[in-house]
């Protein structure tokens, strides 16, 4: 484990050592950001909407005390969605979607010797291939988390009003009660941390693939597993330090 962690740190150092020109990095970063963003919006929207809806129904199910106002449901759903569900669950979903794609793509390039060809031409393959993916993830993940927040709250609104658990006014009142703007900032900080972990770990596993197609699949699986574990650990640490 320590050996792998040391290799990972050296891998990150290589990103900024003998880096490619800013023009090339910028162009590739925009291309990667478009690819990651457009391919992930649907799954993020679907997951976040249903998470908000299910959260509303389940909180309402447990809200049996008649002395507690129904607007409390909206308050609880808001806190759950903004603080935890939107940034963390979205990142876990993207670890499977984006992380496996990054690891599989780089692993395929590695075993087909495309990476070696770049090195022969004098190109820093890590900087050229990996750095744009990490920068694109840092750019796109917070945007996707914002979408997840909005759709999570919207899903809760639709579920609560459609099932008759609470009125639209009660839900809106609930999501406005004691709102703390810092919670949104905290969620965005977490999304940046998670995006770096997912993209860098997946790139590390894909770039260091050797063998054939079977090893590429194994690298993708390992990348997703380690990314999810890293996200959960970082989630706990960030909550302890920032809240």
* pLDDT tens digit sequence for 49-105: 999 999 999 998 888 777 888 889 999 999 999 999 999 999 999 999 999 999 999
pLDDT at 238 over 90: yes
Q: What is the pLDDT of residue 75?
A: 93
pLDDT at 209 over 90: no
Count the Cβ atoms, other than its own, within 10 Å of residue 151: 22
- For residues 58 and 98, give the distance between their C-alpha atoms in angstroms, rounded to a whole number: 30
227, 202 contact by CB (below 8 A): yes
Write out 78-114 in H/E/C secondary structure. Answer: HHHHHHHHHHHHHHHHHHHHHHHHHHHHHHHHHHCCH
Q: Which residue has the higher pLDDT, 78 or 16?
A: 78
Show the tokens assigned to 56.
């509303």
- Whether the full predicted model's pTM is greater than 0.75, yes or no, is yes
51, 89 contact by CB (below 8 A): yes
Mean pLDDT of 210-236: 91
Residue range 110-145, pLDDT digits in tens: 888 888 888 888 788 888 889 999 999 999 999 999
- For residues 220 and 99, give the distance between their C-alpha atoms in angstroms, rounded to a whole number: 7
130 to 19, 25, 49, 216: CA distances (angstroms) = 11, 10, 32, 17
Assign 224 a pLDDT band (cuts: 50, 70, 90): very high
Q: Which residue has the tokens 């979205």?
A: 90
Sequence-separated (6 or more) residues with CB below 8 Å from residue 6: none
């Amino acid at each position: 484990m320590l050996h792998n962690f040391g290799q990972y740190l050296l891998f990150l150092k290589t990103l900024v050592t003998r880096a490619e020109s800013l023009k090339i990095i910028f162009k590739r970063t925009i291309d990667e950001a478009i690819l990651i963003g457009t391919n992930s919006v649907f799954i993020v929207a679907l997951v976040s909407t249903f998470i908000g809806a299910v959260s509303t129904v389940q909180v309402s199910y447990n809200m049996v005390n008649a002395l507690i106002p129904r607007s409390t449901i909206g308050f609880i759903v808001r806190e759950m969605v903004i603080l935890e569900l939107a940034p963390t669950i979205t990142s876990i979903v993207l670890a499977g979607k984006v992380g496996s794609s990054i690891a599989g793509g780089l692993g395929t390039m590695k075993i087909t010797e495309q990476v070696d060809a770049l090195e022969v031409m004098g190109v820093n393959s890590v900087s050229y291939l990996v750095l744009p993916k990490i920068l694109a993830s840092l750019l796109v993940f917070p945007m996707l988390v914002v979408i997840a927040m909005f759709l999570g709250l919207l899903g809760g609104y639709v579920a609560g009003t459609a099932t008759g658990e609470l009125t639209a006014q009660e839900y809106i009142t609930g999501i406005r009660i004691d709102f703390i703007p810092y919670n949104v900032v905290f969620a965005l900080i977490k999304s940046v941390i998670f995006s770096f972990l997912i993209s860098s770990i997946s790139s590390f596993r894909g770039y260091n693939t050797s063998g054939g197609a079977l090893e590429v699949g194994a690298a993708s699986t390992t990348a997703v597993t380690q990314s999810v574990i890293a996200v959960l650990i970082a989630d706990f640490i960030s909550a302890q330090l920032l809240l």
